[in-house]
Structure 1
Amino acid sequence: MLKTSIERLKDTELKLYRVSGETMGTRYTATFYASPHIDDREVTARLAAAVGAVDDQMSSWKDNSDLSRLNRASQDCWVPVSGNLAALLMRAQQIGRETHNAFNIGVGDLVNQWGFGPSSGVSSHLSTGNCLGTASRRPVDDLIEVDEHRCRVRKRGPTVLDLCGIAKGFGVDELGRVLSDYGISAWLVGIDGEVCAHGGKPDGSPWSIALEAPDYDQRATMGVIELTDAAIATSGDYRRWTEIDGARISHTMDPRTGTPLANGVASVTVVARTCADADAYATALMVLGEHAGRDYAQQRGLDALLVVRDGEALRTVGVGCFTDVQPARVSLVRSAPDSSQPQ
């Protein structure tokens, strides 16, 4: 179901538009300032179509998606896919190389075995003391070949791909692309906790984004970040989890061990140029853990906030704009990215 609202602003020629709808098992939102003469119904339809296309291409929950067809395909068989999926698989491979396999989309079988995927329920063979399939996952570079020019992919080894750590961020980027295509220069778009901002409000102020606290029981705000011309994403152990043998099991898989992540990191928030990158790097830093994650973020020049569980308490580890900042109110206003630079 789509929702659209329009609010007339005083002393300005712009209107404030708000659009929301369902996608990827959650909701997307778009808030933007634009001319009162814009065809808001057309923009709303384009936004819905953009996220719908991403879901149709990259969902492991839809049998007819490009990703599901690829997962079912035999090895060495070229599978035609959308240009978006081919490009995103290439980016996922690149981030996998950069993070030394901490980000690996080839964990779909583990996601299913632990009850977080399309298959129903946790495998009866699984327990915290006896893990099925506890083996490191080979880098995706070894397992798939992407022909981006011809929009096709083939598997070179047994693998089940899962894009939950990057597809939602890509969907956010697609929402922003639609608004930019209409010449709209001030917008804030998001899918659940993944957000991208461009421009600012008519009064010159940036967009304010709430940082969610890693609370298992309720949604609570930990702080606020002011953002423009950048994206932000959070990965955490508190949104999707299950309980096995009295222990909470996170949906994030560690590709290096073949088991659910259990390193004490409650959440990671990353600010990046694109939301797909922020999404993927947040997942990678979760897997790397407190110390290796902090070191990697410093080496890559990432803005990252790691929240670590110490028993019942939480503590933060900040890098970049989050350095030495307690999660209260953080200001990050960036200039528009140089389109000539690689994304």
Structure 2
Amino acid sequence: MKTSSEHALRRYSLNGLTMGSRYTAVFYSPGQADLAAIGASLYAAVNRVDRQMSTWNAASDLCRLNAAPENTWLPVPEELAQVLAAGLLVSRESGGAFDMAVGQLVEDWGFGPSQRTPSPQIVAQHGKAYYPAAEVLDVDLARQQVRKRAPLMLDLSGIAKGYGVDQLAHCLDGWSIASYLVGIDGEMRARSERPDGKAWTVAIEKPTPGIREIGGVMELHDVAIATSGDYRRWVEIDGTRHAHTMHPALRQPVSNRLAAVTVLAPSCMLADAWATAFMVLGDAEGVALARKRGMDVLFVLRHGALLEEILIIDGKIV
């Protein structure tokens, strides 16, 4: 007969390096969990995503796709095919605000693997033949193959990290763990609640460049969260600061009143992609689309040194 202590839920925490950041997993499990095996499977899950979707690894499947010739079907791993298909869907639903074809723009502006120093001359020469991914990328999920119908340099930094969080979640699901919070940097996903009946809580960072401080707290219960902002990564050209999020239509970094956007969604992959899309759309179009779609989104607007919040729950401003 098992004692009550053997049935009691114990708290565990695991973490490691991935995608230039850290992944974390906090979970509750009855009895003694096999931390070595669970830790190994968590690392394998995020490493698989990084190995397939990184632009910083020349041997990744994404880099292989970027280098492939046009009009040729290329076999790709199932995970990469899923992310590309989801990215195309969000692109269409956001009117092109989310676009995976920004790889060359990311590189030209100094945010890519070469980490080149951008200059007005370099910036002026990009975007002469820009093809949105939604127009020239075909994804065949059934056959796990992809075809480019024009030159494309894809970048999945606006969706792959969220997908990696989902893979952490699926990994713990496979271990029959019913209560957890997993994340990679600021992208998180929660299952159920804590054993004390309280929701999982995560801090929302205040969008202050160069300073990391808490701006608020959100409660999570069976939902994912992702944030995009202008305060973590930027370059300065001739005294002007440019954030890392690219505006596909303008072929340059986003420049609007938004300092940050936080999205809640069923999957972290979708939360990640939509956070990027809303940053591109700006406060007016972004708020309108979030309300139309009935989404849960926190928009943070910058007015000089002041910040304004617009919180939308179920498509309604609260």
TM-score range, shorter chain: over 0.9
Q: Is 1:79 aligned to residue 74 of structure 2?
A: yes
TM-aligned CA distance change 1:324 to 1:98, over 3 Å: closer
Q: Deviations over 1:3-31 (max 9, x none)?
A: xxxxxx98961110100000000000000
Q: Give the CA deviation at 1:150.
A: 1.6
Once residues 226 and 261 of structure 1 are traced to their aligned partners in structure 2, the CA distance between those partners, rounded to angstroms, is 29
Report the equivalent of 1:257. 250
Following superposition of structure 1 onto structure 2, how do residues 1-343 of structure 1 map, counting pairs within 5 Å?
13-126=8-121, 131-134=124-127, 137-320=130-313
Q: Distance in 2 between matches of 1:11 and 1:182?
A: 18
Let me know the Cα RMSD of the aligned residues: 1.9
Secondary structure in 1 aligned to 2:299? Answer: strand
> Kindly tell me: are residues 27 and 148 of structure 1, through their superposed partners in 2, closer, same or farther at Cα, counting changes over 3 Å?
same
- Residue identity matched to 1:54: V
Name structure 2 gaps, 5 residues minimum. Answer: none
Measured in 1, the distance between the counterparts of 2:315 and 2:243 equals 25
**1:77 Cα deviation from its structure 2 partner:** 2.1
Aligned-residue offset at 1:133: 2.2
How many residues get paired? 315
3-state SS of 1:223 partner:
strand
CA shift for structure 1 position 138? 3.6
For residue 22 of structure 2, what is the amino acid of its counterpart?
Answer: R
Question: CA-to-partner distance for each residue in 1:273-304, whole Å, 9 max, x for gaps?
Answer: 00000000000000000000000000111111
Q: Do the aligned residues in 2 keep the contact of 1:144 with 1:156 (CA within 8 Å)?
A: yes
Asked if 2 retains the 8 angstrom alpha-carbon contact of 1:231 and 1:278, the reply is: yes
Q: Which has the higher helix share?
A: 2
Shift in CA distance, 248/124, structure 1 to aligned 2, threshold 3 Å: closer
> What secondary structure, in the 3-state scheme, does the structure 2 residue paired with 1:122 have?
coil
Report the Cα distance in structure 1 between the residues aligned to 2:30 and 2:128, rounded to whole angstroms: 55
1:145 Cα offset (Å):
1.2
- Structure 1 residue 182: Cα displacement: 0.8
Q: Distance in 2 between matches of 1:223 and 1:136?
A: 42
CA displacement, residues 232-255 of structure 1 (integer Å, 9 cap, x when unaligned): 000001111111110111100000
Instruction: Give the Cα separation in 1 of the matches to 2:175 and 2:30.
Output: 11
Q: What letter is aligned with 2:301? A: V
Shift of 1:201: 1.0
Cα distance per residue 1:50-107 (max 9 Å; x no partner): 0000000000100110100000111112222110000110110011000010000000
When the two structures are superposed, what TM-score results if normalisation uses the length of structure 2?
A: 0.95
What is the alpha-carbon distance in structure 2 between the residues aligned to residue 119 and residue 176 of structure 1? 32
What secondary structure, in the 3-state scheme, does the structure 2 residue paired with 1:131 have? Answer: helix
Question: 1:142: how far off?
Answer: 1.8
The code of the aligned residue for 2:267 comes to T
Q: Distance in 1 between matches of 2:202 and 2:166?
A: 16
Offset, 1:217: 1.6
CA pair 113-275 structure 1, distance change in 2 beyond 3 A? same
